[in-house]
Amino acid sequence: MRTAMLALPILFGMGAFTSAAAQDAGSVQLPAAKSKREIQTRVGVITEHHTNIAQTDAATAASRGIERNDWTVRPVVQVRVLQPLGRNALFVNADGGYLFHKNNTRLDSRTINVSGGGVSNLGSCQVAGTGTYSVSQSELGDIVGPIVKNLRTTRSVGAQVNCGRPVGFGGSLSANRSWARNSATTIKEANSTTDTLQAAVRYQNKGLGTIAVQGSYVESRYPNRQTLQLSALGLGETVIIRNVGVEYQKTIGSKLNVAGSVALTRLKRGAPPNGVKPKFSSTTYSGDMIYKFTSRTQLEVSAERSVKPSNTVGKLYDKETRSEIELRHNLGTRLLITLGASRDDLASNTDGSSSFLIYTKARTDSIYGSIRYQRAKLGSLALELRQDDRNTDKSAYDYRDTRAMMTLEAQF
């Protein structure tokens, strides 16, 4: 579930294994102010069965040489190190593995995700410098064109400061630069360098909750993505996204937590093709509600609309509207059952120089359920069943994929 963030993250956890592709470049969790020295190691294996790993229709999968029915196995090792130094701390969180396919062996690839940095606590402020690095095979559903073997590498560096006390005014400021590179020649058009600036001023107390005014500036440069005008000049495309809005979060009693935001988002292109407007505005928002029926059962409902730079060939930006509902129930202290459903609507531009068939509208409906068994701090076993249905304005990219996943991990 996606939760609105009213301030910079101040937690540093070692969650269940995830795909490196799922990690946001530049997204780093920070250790809390009173952390203890920790060294943790996890080893595990993730196995999945897909009825349509190609994430396309049958004809497109065949033209790409992809067998839609496939098994994957990914052994993985995760290491977390946290070293306090007085009121400061250094930290590293890394996982690495290798993804094996039973049928589509040419998609076998390494998966690496590393984040780390340093944190200094100065009075009521927390100052941090961070960096990330990740490598993984691209999701096939995000690829257009005939080549599907693509290692996507992302790197980022950033700095942030977060000031404030439990009651009263506070604020945050962050700056980040990220780089995304693709190994496949037909996907290098999606290579990008992105600069992000974010700032927020907030006020919080127990009765009112937390209210904040925030703004952000995102500039993405695509050196290999060219319109006809830019091609003549040897220049790449640029997109700038500005965002100004308000956010609110409050815990009501012992059962309900609500968070929400609304913002005006403005997008501007550096050099659009003739006849295409260089900029547009959109209202974006996010909302999240968590209701605890009992100490063991809770329901979470969320909705979000965002405008962001695209990582797909032929597209410059995506406007995404997403909603999700999830029910979680603990059976005792060791078993967690989760049931959920989501809908994701995507609208994109496509007016670049790419010759590939590109979809500009897509709706993905998903349902899922999982059960997780946790044995104290020794390890866990998780089983998940999920079905994704996507419909687009280009039928070649329509698909249904039913996926069964098992994750086994041990902690030392």
Read off the pLDDT band of 135 (50, 70, 90): very high
The CATH class that applies to domain 20-411 reads mainly beta
Phi, psi torsion values for 231, nearest 5 degrees: -60, -40
Closest by CA to 24, choosing from 306, 232, 381, 364, is: 306
Residues 6+ apart with CB under 8 A from 233: none
Read off the pLDDT band of 183 (50, 70, 90): very high
Interior/surface letters 288-314, b for 16+ CB within 10 angstroms, e for the rest:
bebeeeeeeebebbbbbbbbbbbbbbb
Q: For the chain, which residues make up each domain, given as ranges?
A: 20-411
Residues 6+ apart with CB under 8 A from 217: 195, 196, 197, 198, 240, 241, 242, 243
- 3-state secondary structure (DSSP) of residue 15: coil
Model's pTM, two decimal places?
Answer: 0.85
273-317, pLDDT tens digit by residue? 766 778 889 999 999 999 999 999 999 999 999 999 888 887 888
The pLDDT of residue 233 is 55
The stretch 23-39 carries a mean pLDDT of 67
Read off the pLDDT band of 234 (50, 70, 90): low
